[in-house]
Amino acid sequence: MTMTKPKSTRRRYRPGGAEYAERAGEWFSVQNYLRGLFMSACFDLVPELESEIRATYVEAQFSKQLDELRLTNSGPAFLRAKSVLQRSLLSPWTTRWNLTDDWCISWVATHKIGRWYEANQSAIEGAPRLEIAEVRPRRFEIYPLVMPGWSPIEKTKDDFKAEIRLGLESALEAYCSQTEQRIQSVRTWSNEANQPAPHYIRTPELGQPEHFRWLIAYQLYRASFKSIADLVSIDRHAVQLAIKGLASKMGLTQRPSGDYCSKSSLALKALLTGA
């Protein structure tokens, strides 16, 4: 008797495990949020990404080249020259790892190259600092919730419990609603929007967190849908739908379907299962 591989489970999750997260970087959207999660996961799960860029950064003397650009350019001209320099530095790397989209390059330029460069520079005196807004949780207290007691000669125990649960549910809903109103009212300045913007944003509810690993295996390691499905014991069609769906939500240009690489099963398994 042939056993059918299970389809992907329907478990939902919110990245970070919380209902809200701080707005960071560019103006928030679900797409940008997913892009940041994906790129962070890439660097966490594939150590070669950072080591290769770091080696190129040092060999190309990027910091020195950027300092020279500062001497001959200013304002928008410097930003354009800086972008050209970053793309030139990253071009071979992005092609090798199938991360050629502009947003992939921008993420690496900001979160890796930019931070390495800034680490080599002295801090700018008097630079404005963003205010960190913090919303501390208020205690959820049953008091002053008061309800009639149970009269065994008037109602059953189950009916009494149902009434108490209903009252508790109403109090809990009111507490959660007030807490959300407080966190949604927090505003901090957004350089991207050039105006105050919500400091906390609701995190998107996604499918399985494993889908990021599957996409990284497919996109960066050039693994086939079948090889991924076999290693995670999930139906191949379900794996393909999950990978293509997540890539589409992010706006990630998927690698050519025939561009496969025979990565060792051990390396793929380690990536996919964390083992």
Six-digit token string for 18: 């919380």
pLDDT tens readout for residues 188-217: 776 666 778 778 877 766 666 788 999 999
Q: Enumerate the domain spans of the chain.
A: 1-17+207-275, 25-134, 136-185
Asked if the model's pLDDT at residue 133 lies above 70, the reply is no
Please name the residues in contact with 103: beta carbons below 8 A apart, sequence gap of 6 or more.
35, 251
pLDDT at 54: 86
Percentage, residues of the chain above pLDDT 70: 75
Q: How confident is the model at residue 241 (pLDDT cuts 50, 70, 90)?
A: very high
What is the rounded average pLDDT for all residues in the chain? 78
Task: Summarize pLDDT for 97-115 with one digit per residue, the tens.
Answer: 999 999 998 898 888 887 7
| Number of CB atoms found within 10 A of residue 37's CB | 19
58/67 Cα distance (integer angstroms): 14
How far apart, in Å, are the Cα atoms of 109 and each of 49, 52, 60, 159? 13, 14, 15, 62
Give the least confident one: 35-39, 63-67, 149-153, 213-217.
63-67
Please report the pLDDT score of residue 127 as a whole number.
Answer: 45
Residue 167 CB neighbours (<10 A)? 15
CA 71/CA 65 separation, integer angstroms? 10
Query: Could you give the CA distance from residue 213 to residue 230 in angstroms, rounded to a whole number?
Result: 14
* Strands 195-198 and 20-22, sheet pairing: unpaired
pLDDT for the residue 91: 85
Q: pLDDT tens digits, residue range 4-56?
A: 555 544 556 665 667 777 765 444 567 887 888 899 999 999 989 989 888 88
State the pLDDT at residue 17.
65
Q: pLDDT-based confidence at 83, cuts 50/70/90? A: confident
What pTM did the predictor assign? 0.62
